[in-house]
Amino acid sequence: MSFSEIKKDPLSASEHNLINYQDTYTHFNWQQAQQRIAGNKDGLNIAYEALDRHVDEGFGEQIAIRWLSKQGLAVDISYTELMEQTSRFANILLKFGVKPNDTVFGLCSRVPQLYISLLGTLKFGAVFSPLFSAFGPEPIRSRMEIGQARVLITSEALYLKKVNPWREQLSSLKWVLLYNVTGPLPDNCYDLDALLEESSADFPARLCDPEQLALLHFTSGTTGKPKGAMHVHQAVVYHSISAFYALDLKPGDRYWCTADPGWVTGTSYGIIAPLCNRVTMIIDEAEFDAEHWYQLLSEQKINVWYTAPTAIRMLMKAGGELATQYDLSALRFIASVGEPLNPEAVVWGQKVFAMPFHDNWWQTETGGIMIANLATNAVRPGSMGRPLPGIEVAIMEHTEGGEIKATTKANQVGELALKKGWPSMFRGYLHEEQRYQKCFVGDWYLTGDLAMCDADGYYWFVGRADDVIKSSGHLIGPFEVESVLMEHPAVAEVGVIGLPDEVAGEIVKAFVALKPGYEGDEILRKTLLGHSRKRLGAAVAPREIVFRKNLPKTRSGKIMRRLLKARELGLPEGDISTLESDEA
H or E segment and range at residue 213: strand 213-219
Contact 437, 426 (CB under 8 A): no
Which pLDDT score, from 0 to 100, does residue 417 have? Answer: 97
Same domain, yes or no, for 486 and 406? no
Contact 51, 59 (CB under 8 A): no
Domain count of the chain?
Answer: 2
- 255, amino acid identity: Y
CA neighbor of 388 nearest in space, from 373, 370, 363 = 370
- The predicted model scores a pTM of 0.85
Contact 496, 508 (CB under 8 A): yes
Q: Give the separation between CA 423 and CA 210, rounded to whole angstroms.
A: 9
Tens digit of pLDDT for each residue in 227-259? 999 999 999 999 999 999 999 999 999 999 999
Q: Give the separation between CA 112 and CA 82, rounded to whole angstroms.
A: 9
Which pLDDT score, from 0 to 100, does residue 576 have? Answer: 39
Contact 350, 381 (CB under 8 A): no
Q: What is the DSSP string of 305-359?
A: EEE-HHHHHHHHHH-GGGGGGS--TT--EEEE-SSPPPHHHHHHHHHHHSS-EEE
* 329 within a domain of the structure (yes/no): yes
* 47 within a domain of the structure (yes/no): yes
Question: How large is the angle between the packed helices 522-536 and 478-486, nearest 10 degrees?
Answer: 120
Same domain, yes or no, for 529 and 424? no
Same domain, yes or no, for 373 and 416? yes
Same domain, yes or no, for 270 and 145? yes
Chain centre to alpha carbon of residue 518: 40
Contact 275, 51 (CB under 8 A): yes
* 67 within a domain of the structure (yes/no): yes
* 361 within a domain of the structure (yes/no): yes
Same domain, yes or no, for 226 and 129? yes
Tens digit of pLDDT for each residue in 82-130? 999 999 999 999 999 999 999 999 999 999 999 999 999 999 999 999 9
CA neighbor of 478 nearest in space, from 439, 512, 509, 515 = 509
H or E segment and range at residue 240: helix 235-246
Q: How does DSSP classify residue 167? A: G
Query: How many other C-beta atoms lie within 10 A of the C-beta of residue 35?
Result: 10
Same domain, yes or no, for 433 and 507? no
Contact 413, 452 (CB under 8 A): yes
Q: How many helices (H) and strands (E) are present in the chain, helices listed first?
A: 20, 27
Q: Give the separation between CA 116 and CA 118, rounded to whole angstroms.
A: 6
Q: Give the separation between CA 384 and CA 386, rounded to whole angstroms.
A: 7
Q: Give the separation between CA 504 and CA 546, rounded to whole angstroms.
A: 20
Domain extent for 547? 469-551
Angstrom distances, CA of residue 550 to CA of 491, 493, 515, 532, 584 = 12, 8, 11, 21, 17
Contact 127, 103 (CB under 8 A): yes
* CATH value at residue 99: 3.40.50.12780
Contact 139, 480 (CB under 8 A): yes
Q: How does DSSP classify residue 37? A: S
Residue ending a domain, among 453, 483, 509, is 453
* 281 within a domain of the structure (yes/no): yes
* 5 within a domain of the structure (yes/no): no
Which pLDDT score, from 0 to 100, does residue 10 have? Answer: 65
Q: Give the separation between CA 398 and CA 413, rounded to whole angstroms.
A: 10
- CB burial of residue 430 (10 Å; 0-12, 13-18, 19+): buried
Which pLDDT score, from 0 to 100, does residue 555 have? Answer: 45
Which pLDDT score, from 0 to 100, does residue 468 have? Answer: 75
Same domain, yes or no, for 427 and 542? no
Same domain, yes or no, for 194 and 328? yes
Same domain, yes or no, for 420 and 532? no
* CATH value at residue 480: 3.30.300.30
Residues of the chain with confidence (pLDDT) below 70: 1-4, 7-14, 221-224, 466, 554-558, 571-584
Same domain, yes or no, for 488 and 366? no
Question: In terms of DSSP H, where are the helices of 368-521?
Answer: 433-437, 478-486
Contact 168, 192 (CB under 8 A): no
Contact 122, 152 (CB under 8 A): no
Same domain, yes or no, for 185 and 259? yes
Q: What SS3 state is found at 487?
A: coil
- 198, amino acid identity: E
* 286 within a domain of the structure (yes/no): yes
Q: How does DSSP classify residue 49? A: I
Same domain, yes or no, for 417 and 303? yes
* 3 within a domain of the structure (yes/no): no
**Composition of the chain by helix, strand, coil, percent to 5:** 35, 25, 40
Q: How far apart are the first and last CA of the chain?
A: 35
20 phi/psi in degrees, rounded to 5 = -125, 100
The total number of residues shown for the chain amounts to 584
CA neighbor of 491 nearest in space, from 512, 470, 509, 471 = 512
Q: Give the separation between CA 477 and CA 493, rounded to whole angstroms.
A: 16
